[in-house]
Chains A and B, each alone.
Chain A
Amino acid sequence: DVQMTQSPSSLSASIGDRVTITCRASQSFGASLNWYQQKPGKAPQLLIFGASRLQSGVPSRFSGSGSGTDFALTISSLQPEDSAIYYCQQSDNTPWTFGQGTKVEIK
């Protein structure tokens, strides 16, 4: 199975800060790397698919980058509503696997 490792596990940042979450895969694959945001008691919501493609309706402050084994999610200017847990996911190999999650808190 492809192991996905996110870092950091949690972070605290101020409104307006630039925030970057990284995701490293245990083996290289194509562009099937996705990012989801999950708020308490809710289902995850797709932010980024194909490593860098912004899902329709998602604010442009979210962006994704990377290829091979190293990927990143960047929030260019953190907003209060961005407080959530963020997960990366690879869908290139079965079983599809998720990172352990990164909790983003607002200072």
Chain B
Amino acid sequence: QVQLVQSGAEVKKPGASVKVSCKASGYTFTDYFLHWVRQAPGQGLEWMGRINPTYGNADYAQKFQGWVTMTRDASLSTANQELTGLESDDTVVYFCARERTLVAATTSRYFDLWGRGTLVTVSS
């Protein structure tokens, strides 16, 4: 079954770090970029960045540079995201999503597969 399985919910104190994982199954992990998207309660979707599973290099949205690190372990078909210096307003759901690309007259990129999300609650 083609799916992305994310790690379970976390509760952290302000200032702590957390690592969220996303395990791919049912397809070749290195064939598709993986992205991370976050969503605060009752809010919209925000793109955080993406990782190339083949080489492990990542691109980040500017606001997340310096406190978010995306890595992968290709042997485990798993992408990870570590967030440091958590603050109270960082209580959000983090989704991983697979990027597909359609090359036709124009090139289209989109998320065709999503994980179920990981809730990270920051509370003292």
Interface residues of A (CB under 8 A from B): 30-32, 34, 36, 38, 42-46, 49-51, 53, 55, 87, 89, 91, 94-101
Chain A residues within an 8 Å CB radius of B112: 46, 49, 55
B interface residue count range (under 10 / 10 to 19 / 20 to 34 / 35 or more): 20 to 34
Give the tally of cross-chain contacts (CB within 8 A).
Answer: 69
Residue of B nearest to A55 (CB): B112
Grouping DSSP codes into helix (H, G, I), strand (E, B) and loop, the B interface class, with mixed when no group exceeds half, is strand
Q: Are B44 and A53 in contact (CB under 8 A)?
A: no
Flag whether B116 is at the interface (Cβ < 8 A): yes
> Would A49 and B106 be within 8 Å (CB), given that A43-B116, A44-B114, A98-B44 are in contact?
no
Chain A residues within an 8 Å CB radius of B45: 36, 38, 44, 87, 89, 98, 101
Chain A residues within an 8 Å CB radius of B116: 42-43
Chain B residues within an 8 Å CB radius of A31: 106, 108
Residue of A nearest to B49 (CB): A95
Q: Are B111 and A44 in contact (CB under 8 A)?
A: yes
Grouping DSSP codes into helix (H, G, I), strand (E, B) and loop, the A interface class, with mixed when no group exceeds half, is loop
Q: How far is the CA of A94 from the CA of B49 in the complex (A)?
A: 9
Flag whether B27 is at the interface (Cβ < 8 A): no
Interface string of B81-124 (1 = CB under 8 A from A): 00000000000000101001010101111111011110000000
